[in-house]
Structure 1
Amino acid sequence: MRRRFHFIFLLALWSGWAQASMGMAELPATADDEPVTVFYPSTDAAQPTRRARFTLDVAAQGAPVRGNGRLVVVSHGSGGAPWVHADLARSLVDAGFIVAMPEHKADNYKDDSNPGPDSWSMRPAEVSRAIDAVARDPRFAPLLQLDKVGMYGMSAGGHTALSLAGGRWSPAGFKQHCEANLVDDFQSCVGLIMRLTGGPFDGLKKWAALWVIRHRFDDATPREHTDPRIAAIAAAVPSSADFEMASLAEPRVPLGLITARQDRWLIPRFHSDRVLAACLPRCELIADMPTAGHGSLLSPLPPGLTGLIGDMLNDPSGFDRSGVLPDVNRKTTAFFSTHLLP
């Protein structure tokens, strides 16, 4: 694998797109879907560009240049945005990939009104329609072969990734997990609504959480979605406690996992470790980060996070962000290069 990646990287240097800047464009929203942000090799010069709370060094609306001919779709986490995966996108673009990031409806940074199982049911089809949107765009369609697409998802996006890898889950599976593990996996079950503090109201919080979960998530119908164009999948700190693990024992395409040992939002023993136990050796561990938390893969990390969301997403003490993340991004890029390129 390492020799092959080095060979591909040398080809990139010879072809010229490794020296290209990273372009950025937005495909407009439709009646069914939110916008899709596209990062790609560009011949235009990059300039500081403001998006939400981030300043990105990109060629906004820059002219695309052909790279390696492959697309990778990135699925963000709950309440997420394209900008928090810009560093991963840069690593992929430097290797010649075009990267498409759909905003998931009612579960993004502009509208987080409906996260959790309702969003998880819609997300895989949104990924497929994001591929369709790129395929329709006259700037990008001539530059791509869409018979082998990569897909990366983090957190709730990791749930999307596992669904597309052949995993089956149901809202009732989410309910059953939370009934059995509410206290130990509380934030996974309730999100940012509240937290347990050890105080006198914890009992009421647990009762309220279970009441809502039992009334909203009792549908046992398995959720499945496949897209034959997707040929390699990476799931990073995935939400996965509600999956039928037998359905992930033999992923339908190469599947890689990225784990964070200090994750307090999606505690590994309930989520990523269960997936690895089910799918190894038919999947691979792209990277295991012993000192990383749930938000450590967000790069750049949103600034100024406080309160519960800060506790969940800010880097744990001792995590070397500048040393670890570039290496994880390289390994993720190598995973897709190995499985998607000739």
Structure 2
Amino acid sequence: MFIRGFLLLSALLLCIQVQAAPGFRQLPLSDQKGDALNVAVWYPVSSAGITESAGDNPAFIGVAVIRNAPPAPGAHPLLVISHGYNGNWRNLSWIAAAMAAQGYIVAAPDHPGTTTFNQNPADAKQLWRRPRDLTAVIDAVIHSPGLFGATDKDRIAALGHSLGGWTVMSLAGARFDPARFLHDCRQHPQRGDCRLTDKLGIDEALSQEKLSADHRDARIRAVVSLDLGLAPGFTPRSLHDISLPVLILAAQMDQLAALPAEEESGYLAAAMRPQWRQFDIIDGATHFSFMSLCKPGAETLINEESPGDGIVCRDGSGASRSGIHQALVGKISAFLNASLDYHAPAGETP
């Protein structure tokens, strides 16, 4: 009897896991220069299927997905995601899968020049291409209903971590002034983002005109910024003029990445009108707590290959990354659902 009950319970748990897993496809695009733009897309599915892990590697835990599954019928909100400096879409797969389980289509590109897989110095210095990458991804998803399901064009949002936070704030209408940022960095030369001015081309005259352009995408109705960098370069006027909901989340333990909350996320919150922004500092979180869950021994493994980079697996003392992620999923999903006036269909996973 015990064995039979155990088998039934195991089968039930397997069914729950399968039903909760979103569909998943990888979509090759071309960016503005014709370079490859690799995009990962999670989306609601019409039926259960065989799951596999996406984003899993020897250091990080992936998420369960159903590759190339038929999309669910109906129109779905769209969330585009931007990774941090020299990161990739896998870093934020945990929030992508969580939002897809609530009925969202979620799409995340690898930004050429600032991704793990392409750190070409010339590409990295074309920082203005990042917001344009997300605009291209929105276009591609909207025009591919057969692959991912129909997009609800009135419910499109953007989320970004670190340099991805700068990217999505640009899409929200924040205007970047390279001269302003360089002036601020002369007063804070040890800040993490100030050490990237040369690598990102912020100090080059040829880049400054394009960086200061308007990158706003009017289709985006809500934005989530996760412990962003480069914030002091945004002009106060442009931040004040933003008129869409923005959730600004910062890490409490900001020493590892040297991105002080009061100079980065706090600067955004102070410059924006209160009715359009929510600001919170996440207890126990480091800058890297917003990345995927690390496997046991991952810090040592990463340090062996790239000394010092193992800090990406560190969270605040006494904090667990899984607990931080659980809290973040609640905050982010509540904000997006309210901002987009969206209610997950019955049967979706909240």
Normalised by the size of structure 1, how large is the TM-score?
Answer: 0.80
- Per-residue CA deviation, residues 179-219 of structure 1 (Å, 9 max, x unaligned), is 22103x1x22225xxxxxxxxxxxxxxxxx88998853686
- Residue 26 of structure 1 contacts residue 38 of structure 1 at CA under 8 Å; is this kept in 2? yes
- Residue 40 of structure 2 contacts residue 109 of structure 2 at CA under 8 Å; is this kept in 1? yes
Letter in 2 for 1:152: L
Which range moved further: 51-60 or 123-132? 51-60
Change (3 A) 1:147 1:328: same
Letter in 2 for 1:263: D
Question: 1-side partners of 2:43 and 2:199: how far apart?
Answer: 46
Change (3 A) 1:64 1:297: same
Letter in 2 for 1:124: P
* 1:149 has 2:156 as partner: yes
Question: Cα offset for 1:28?
Answer: 1.1
2:8 counterpart residue number: none
Among 254, 257, 271, the alignment partner of 2:245 is 254
Question: 1-side partners of 2:285 and 2:122: how far apart?
Answer: 24
Alignment of 1:216-227 (within 5 A): 216=204, 221=209, 222-227=212-217
* 1:298 has 2:298 as partner: no
1:236 counterpart residue number: 226
Among 103, 108, 129, the alignment partner of 1:96 is 103
1:48 counterpart residue number: 52
Which range moved further: 142-151 or 129-138? 142-151
Letter in 2 for 1:29: L
2:195 counterpart residue number: 190
Which range moved further: 263-272 or 253-262? 263-272
Question: 2-side partners of 1:67 and 1:113: how far apart?
Answer: 40
Change (3 A) 1:251 1:115: farther
Identical-pair percentage: 26
Letter in 2 for 1:80: G
Question: 2-side partners of 1:157 and 1:130: how far apart?
Answer: 14
2:274 counterpart SS class: coil
2:168 counterpart residue number: 161
Question: Cα offset for 1:135?
Answer: 1.8
Question: 1-side partners of 2:308 and 2:194: how far apart?
Answer: 14
Letter in 1 for 2:71: P
Gaps of 5+ in 1: 1-15, 192-208
- Per-residue CA deviation, residues 149-194 of structure 1 (Å, 9 max, x unaligned), is 11101100000111112111133333222222103x1x22225xxx
Letter in 1 for 2:157: G
Question: Cα offset for 1:282?
Answer: 2.9
Question: 2-side partners of 1:148 and 1:136: how far apart?
Answer: 15
- Residue 22 of structure 2 contacts residue 100 of structure 2 at CA under 8 Å; is this kept in 1? yes
Question: 1-side partners of 2:29 and 2:42: how far apart?
Answer: 17
Letter in 2 for 1:47: T
1:275 counterpart residue number: 268
Change (3 A) 1:214 1:242: closer
- Per-residue CA deviation, residues 306-342 of structure 1 (Å, 9 max, x unaligned), is 3433336622322232222112112101111112235
Aligned residues: 307
- Per-residue CA deviation, residues 245-265 of structure 1 (Å, 9 max, x unaligned), is 221123131111111121232
* 1:322 has 2:322 as partner: yes
- Residue 294 of structure 1 contacts residue 313 of structure 1 at CA under 8 Å; is this kept in 2? no
Which range moved further: 289-298 or 32-41? 32-41
- Residue 83 of structure 1 contacts residue 300 of structure 1 at CA under 8 Å; is this kept in 2? no
2:337 counterpart residue number: 337
* 1:36 has 2:36 as partner: no
Which range moved further: 237-246 or 94-103? 237-246
1:176 counterpart SS class: helix
Question: Cα offset for 1:78?
Answer: 0.9
- Residue 269 of structure 2 contacts residue 279 of structure 2 at CA under 8 Å; is this kept in 1? no
- Residue 174 of structure 1 contacts residue 217 of structure 1 at CA under 8 Å; is this kept in 2? no
2:112 counterpart residue number: 105
Change (3 A) 1:110 1:117: closer
1:289 counterpart residue number: 282
- Per-residue CA deviation, residues 228-253 of structure 1 (Å, 9 max, x unaligned), is 21111111101112111221123131
2:221 counterpart SS class: strand
Which range moved further: 174-183 or 89-98? 174-183
2:285 counterpart SS class: coil
- Residue 172 of structure 1 contacts residue 218 of structure 1 at CA under 8 Å; is this kept in 2? no
2:308 counterpart SS class: helix
Question: 2-side partners of 1:116 and 1:301: how far apart?
Answer: 29
Question: 2-side partners of 1:152 and 1:115: how far apart?
Answer: 25
Question: 2-side partners of 1:313 and 1:115: how far apart?
Answer: 29
Question: 1-side partners of 2:121 and 2:194: how far apart?
Answer: 14
Question: Cα offset for 1:36?
Answer: 1.2
